[in-house]
Structure 1
């Protein structure tokens, strides 16, 4: 998981088969703590914009687990279905620059990258659907 790209705050994760099947992403608390506001056991809404400019709202929850540690689960069934997410896809969330007159709260942009094999080489390309 990374936290910076060209000066922008970001975090990313490769999806597991379990996450694809459940249409959820599980992120360690420490990775998302500066991006999201939440309380243990309470649902929160995460508003994002995809690479095509479409707005999405995901539901999430912060959970404490002795075995796995503190984590955030984010549910996105419609997004996962429309994007055709697969195991090993990389999901990248980054801070979206605010435009003049926009709310002062942090807004996020989401990008999906998928590895393809082209002429014997692995290439990561952005999923534009």
Structure 2
């Protein structure tokens, strides 16, 4: 008999700041990602992601706990940021994808970028298709 229970997919997102765009690194507050990752301070981790064009990306993240940054997770977006032309106020979303047991130690995600455009006096969020 087939199991019809749908796996819960966790996601986290935020709007990029000008500083994050310039540094090509996004910071997520720890409480936003704590249910998705298990962290140790200073330890690197990998995020295996696929974008809307089916291109695979590997992001490196790190947990930080210091006075300047507070408790947060940084995710490096260097090449992704350049190729996608990220701008301040773009929204980045990581949604966990199902993973086969025993295949990888990195988390697998879908990564989406949405940009706000103004159309006929209305703000509309559209997915960036680059």
Bin for the TM-score computed over the shorter chain: 0.7 to 0.9
Asked if 1:11 is matched to 2:12, the reply is yes
SS at match of 1:30: helix
TM-score normalised to the size of structure 2?
Answer: 0.84
Shift of residue 24 of structure 1?
0.3
Q: Which residue of 1 aligns with 2:21?
A: 20
Shift of residue 107 of structure 1?
1.7
Distance (Å, rounded) in 2 between the aligned partners of 1:46 and 1:107: 6
Distance (Å, rounded) in 2 between the aligned partners of 1:90 and 1:23: 14
Shift of residue 63 of structure 1?
0.7
Q: Which residue of 1 aligns with 2:4?
A: none
Give CA deviations for 1:66-85 in whole Å, capped at 9, x if unaligned: 35421111111100000000
Q: Which residue of 2 aligns with 1:3?
A: none
Shift of residue 38 of structure 1?
3.3
User: CA-atom RMSD, angstroms?
Assistant: 2.0
Distance (Å, rounded) in 2 between the aligned partners of 1:60 and 1:67: 18
Asked if 1:103 is matched to 2:103, the reply is yes
- Structure 2: where are the runs of 5+ without partners? 1-7
TM-score normalised to the size of structure 1?
Answer: 0.84
Shift of residue 104 of structure 1?
7.1
- Structure 1: where are the runs of 5+ without partners? 1-6
Q: Which residue of 2 aligns with 1:64?
A: 65
Asked if 1:30 is matched to 2:31, the reply is yes
Distance (Å, rounded) in 2 between the aligned partners of 1:87 and 1:80: 11
Alignment of 1:70-109 (within 5 A): 70-98=71-99, 103=103, 106-109=107-110
Give CA deviations for 1:57-107 in whole Å, capped at 9, x if unaligned: 011111102354211111111000000000000001111134x78837642
